[in-house]
Amino acid sequence: MISYPPRKSLAQTPTPFQFLARASDRWGHGKRIWIKRDDLTGATLSGNKVRKLEFIAGHALAEGIDTLITCGGLQSNHARATANVCAQMGWHCELVLRGHKPQQTGNTLLDHLFGAELTVVEPNRYSAGLEDVLEEAAARQRRRGRVPMIIPTGGSDALGIWGYIAGAEELSGDMATAGVERACIISATGSGGTQAGLTLGMSLLMPDSPVWGFAVCDDADWFATKVRADIIAAQKIWTGLNGPEPKINTHDGYIGPGYGRADSAVYERIAALAALEGIVLDPVYTGKAFHGLCQEISAGNFNDFSDIIFIHTGGVFGIFSHGEQLWQAAGALMTVVD
């Protein structure tokens, strides 16, 4: 039994665990493809981030925090989820977003609706001096009489990874119920916290079921360092997390043209899965990871496993800034009647 730090219940969990019969027929090459529907953790709070925020909010409550400050791209899912949690908790939220001006669409629109204070920082300054900008934001909030807490990119640190240690425990229960003894577990990886939590959690609970992160930005070496650092930091604070050193697996061959941009094969895979199973992936994270998974299966990899579990980490609001490409990829089954 894992003993958890303070946690504020926010996510709609357990999320559904589903067998994808038609996707398995089409892309599984004899393997069964399952999906863990973490896109259904909540409506505007959907995706993987809320699992981390349950522990971040639990800590904030215990410490008397009333302001969360975090950062990310203009369309950051993590920033939107943080803004939503703050609105639910009655806390103030400041989002430090990388870009030129707020976009009135997708996640930025939701941030604005949730009442978050948006600080948009020019990309070069953001890359060169993010920590300073965040510290300045915290100082500004303190001057206003607030008690702020800075959450790092993606909520990925020793505290945030608890979200997917808990997610791994939930998944191991799903697997037992479905009669899946061992599986290869696949997730998109961006700031590494989801991968770190899953990797550590599965290594403690089901060591025969490896986790593979499909990178959407940096390379496998970057993730090896970041994921290991988050795991070690958590193990130092919570000794119950210690065990054999977990193996960190990252595939970095499907980043495509870069973070936030996708090629036509990804758009086509998203459209195909949506029509086949009624499940919507996004072009920034889950679409790339699922496309990579299908390509790897078809290349004969993951052959030691008859069961593959894809963690759907959400991100649906990301489709709207790629509408034109997705529209084209979906083909034309459309009649206009005058």
Ligand X SMILES: Cc1ncc(COP(=O)(O)O)c(C=O)c1O
**Binding stretches for ligand X (CB under 6 A):** 47-48, 77-78, 154, 156, 188-195, 282, 285-286, 313-315
CB of 91 to ligand X, least distance (A): 21
Nearest residue to ligand X, using CB?
A: 315
Cα 284 to Cα 25, 107, 164: the distances in Å are 25, 13, 20
Rounded distance, CA 74 to CA 72, Å? 7
Q: Which residue has the tokens 């940096």?
A: 218
Cβ count near 288 (within 10 Å):
26
Please identify, using beta-carbon distances, which residue of 28 and 72 lies nearer to ligand X. Answer: 72
Please identify, using beta-carbon distances, which residue of 286 and 321 lies nearer to ligand X. Answer: 286
β-bridge mates for residue 261, sequence order: 258
Please give the structure tokens belonging to residue 72.
Answer: 């990310």
β-bridge mates for residue 95, sequence order: 70, 118
Please identify, using beta-carbon distances, which residue of 24 and 48 lies nearer to ligand X. Answer: 48
Cα 223 to Cα 19, 117, 233, 284: the distances in Å are 29, 31, 15, 17
CB of 195 to ligand X, least distance (A): 6
CB of 73 to ligand X, least distance (A): 9
CB of 318 to ligand X, least distance (A): 7
Whether 156 sits among the annotated catalytic residues: the reply is no
CB of 250 to ligand X, least distance (A): 10
Please identify, using beta-carbon distances, which residue of 58 and 154 lies nearer to ligand X. Answer: 154
Active-site residue, selected from the candidate residues 46, 76, 191, 321 = 76
Please identify, using beta-carbon distances, which residue of 148 and 314 lies nearer to ligand X. Answer: 314
Please give the structure tokens belonging to residue 268.
Answer: 């086509």
Q: 101: Cβ–Cβ under 8 A, 6 or more apart, which residues?
A: 120
* Residues with active-site annotation: 76
